[in-house]
Chain A
Amino acid sequence: MKSDIELIDSNGKRLDGRGPEDLRPIKIEAGVLHRADGSCYLEWGGNKVLVAVYGPREAIPRHSQNPLRAIVNAKYNMAAFSVEDRKRPGPDRRSREISKVISEALEKVILTEQFPRAAIDVNIEVLDAEAGTRCAGLTAAGVALADAGIPMTDIPVSCAAGKIDGHVVADLGKEEDNFGDADLPVAISPRTDEVILLQMDGHLTLDEFNKAFDLAVNGCHVVSEIQKKAILDKYQSASEAE
């Protein structure tokens, strides 16, 4: 898609004043819901995401149970008011795809063998969308899972990179996503740098891909620190209140 907007100026500054490697501001809060076993509220630029985790509990319907491990049911949903021009509510092709890839990414880090025949439900609710909601959702899901006390090998984290006006940049914003050339969401397990989710929309050469991938992984590590701080803040303050 071509447009008249100049997404990146001659000084390398982007529309919102960021440099090519800068992320949008991120705010994470753990344990915001009382009825859920674990929860997280995340703001990433203009994205607002709320995640609730339930379980491990008995998987229903029973034929979906796995006798050897727990199943992970992530459900990604966009609120009708999350985008301009109301989104028709309910699951669609896009949200089903995102739910599936996030479920599979989470399964890689959760120690599912400890809960045979159980299900872990992860509800990802996008309240406000501004490009990169799957990354925001997966990042928030990682914090909510830790908050639910679910055993896992790592706290998954996600960040995107992409190409705008021929420049490879990290964490695309709304206009950059709409009028850019490519978007590359990446999720990793930050302890081992294992890739647990990788998708691409648009075209990149091999060199550009490698560069974008490195940018996204670096972004993941930055976000990972914010995630860990959010969890520690919540529980450290609780244990020191005296």
Chain B
Amino acid sequence: MQKEKRKIVIPSQVLGDIKSKSAGRGTFVENGKIYSGILGVLNENERYINIVPLKGRYDPTVGDFIIGVVEEALGSGWLVDINASSPALLHQNEVPWRVDFGDTERYLNHGDCIMAKILSVDESKKLQITLNERSLYKIKGGHIIDVEPSRVPRIIGKKGSMLSLIKKYIRCRIFVGQNGRIWVDGDTESIEKVLQTIYKIEDESTTFGLTNRIEEMLKKDAKDVR
């Protein structure tokens, strides 16, 4: 197994020169030098210096699938908490139902959970989300947990390998939102098992060979493998 060390960087650390590399995500430039602007793991390639954050809020990107919790029903839409730095707007034209003005509360109300997609992010970080897609709907039942948004790629795995692993050994339904919210549905026992697995992945997300270890763990107490 390859074991290059993952380097942790903290704000104000010097990472390089703009003459040799370009400043990527999580960095800032001052007097021709690239500095780290955030606590994270250094990810350097030939052209860019990027930092993968270890912690922090979700940074919305257009097209991401997310899980939101409705905060407030407005006259012509809803305000939805998506774990970003400000709430997202879900306009009444962006839902699959015909909503009369002022009648928004009949469809979604405070506390309801939805699977949604980021429709737009403008330069002042105003967010719009949409439900107008076949795979998007209001969540009924199941369990939602929060994880660090930066851990999401690890929980999904390469081409969904980690997720399909969990689904293979435990009978359940899972949806992982890019904003670090995960929805799990199934019987009580399997939900408990899935949550344990996900927390383990989150804890050990910066270690190597995680997929194999998770598979061993799941194999041990698997009842019906599909």
Q: Do A and B come from one complex?
A: yes
CB contact under 8 A between A155 and B12, given known A70-B85, A117-B125, A150-B56:
yes
The 8 A CB mask of B84-104 against A (1 = contact, 0 = none) is 011100000000000000000
The 8 A CB mask of A147-162 against B (1 = contact, 0 = none) is 1111111110000000
Flag if A152 contacts B55 (CB, 8 Å). no
- By DSSP majority rule, is chain B's interface helix, strand, loop, or mixed? loop
Contacting residues, chain A, for B206 (C-beta < 8 A): 238-239
Flag if B38 contacts A236 (CB, 8 Å). no
Contacting residues, chain A, for B41 (C-beta < 8 A): 239
Q: How far is the CB of B206 from chain A (nearest CB, A)?
A: 4
The 8 A CB mask of B1-33 against A (1 = contact, 0 = none) is 000001010111000000000000010101000
Q: Does A38 contact B (CB under 8 A)?
A: yes
Flag if A147 contacts B55 (CB, 8 Å). yes
Flag if B207 contacts A232 (CB, 8 Å). no
Flag if A151 contacts B26 (CB, 8 Å). yes
Closest to B9 in A: A232
Flag if A231 contacts B39 (CB, 8 Å). yes
Contact of A235 among B35, B38, B54, B86 (CB under 8 A): B54
Flag if B56 contacts A118 (CB, 8 Å). no
In Å, the complex CA distance between A111 and B12 comes to 12
CB contact under 8 A between A235 and B8, given known A146-B39, A149-B39, A151-B37:
yes
Flag if A149 contacts B55 (CB, 8 Å). yes
Tell me the chain B residues, 168-226 only, with Cβ under 8 Å from chain A: 204, 206-208
Flag if B125 contacts A38 (CB, 8 Å). no
Q: Does A207 contact B (CB under 8 A)?
A: no
Q: Does B57 contact A (CB under 8 A)?
A: yes
Q: How far is the CB of B15 from chain A (nearest CB, A)?
A: 13
In Å, the complex CA distance between A190 and B53 comes to 22
Flag if A117 contacts B86 (CB, 8 Å). yes
Q: Does B135 contact A (CB under 8 A)?
A: no
Flag if B12 contacts A58 (CB, 8 Å). no
Q: Does B45 contact A (CB under 8 A)?
A: no
Interface size in chain B (residues, C-beta < 8 A): 28
Interface size in chain A (residues, C-beta < 8 A): 37
Q: Does A241 contact B (CB under 8 A)?
A: yes
Q: Does A91 contact B (CB under 8 A)?
A: no
In Å, the complex CA distance between A184 and B40 comes to 34
CB contact under 8 A between A151 and B11, given known A117-B125, A242-B207:
yes
In Å, the complex CA distance between A232 and B13 comes to 12
The 8 A CB mask of B148-176 against A (1 = contact, 0 = none) is 00000000000000000000000000000
Q: How far is the CB of A149 from chain B (nearest CB, A)?
A: 3
Q: Does A132 contact B (CB under 8 A)?
A: no
CB contact under 8 A between A153 and B35, given known A57-B85, A117-B86:
yes
The 8 A CB mask of B53-88 against A (1 = contact, 0 = none) is 111110000000000000000000000000001110
Flag if B11 contacts A236 (CB, 8 Å). no
In Å, the complex CA distance between A116 and B53 comes to 20
Contact of B10 among A37, A58, A111, A155 (CB under 8 A): A155
In Å, the complex CA distance between A231 and B8 comes to 10
Q: How far is the CB of B50 from chain A (nearest CB, A)?
A: 13
In Å, the complex CA distance between A115 and B37 comes to 14
In Å, the complex CA distance between A111 and B28 comes to 10
Flag if A111 contacts B37 (CB, 8 Å). yes
Flag if A236 contacts B37 (CB, 8 Å). no
In Å, the complex CA distance between A149 and B39 comes to 6
In Å, the complex CA distance between A242 and B1 comes to 14
Contacting residues, chain A, for B57 (C-beta < 8 A): 37, 55-57, 149
In Å, the complex CA distance between A241 and B87 comes to 36
- Can you offer 19 A-B residue contacts whose CB atoms are under 8 A? A37-B55, A56-B57, A58-B86, A68-B124, A115-B125, A116-B125, A146-B39, A147-B55, A149-B57, A151-B38, A152-B38, A153-B11, A153-B28, A154-B12, A155-B10, A189-B12, A228-B10, A239-B6, A242-B204
Q: A152-B11, A153-B37, A238-B206 are in contact. List 18 more A-B contacts (CB 8 A).
A: A57-B85, A58-B87, A68-B124, A115-B85, A117-B85, A117-B125, A118-B85, A147-B55, A148-B55, A149-B39, A149-B55, A152-B12, A153-B11, A153-B12, A155-B11, A191-B12, A231-B10, A239-B6
Which 9 pairs between the two chains have the least Cβ-Cβ distance? A149-B56, A149-B55, A56-B85, A239-B206, A118-B85, A115-B85, A154-B12, A151-B37, A191-B12
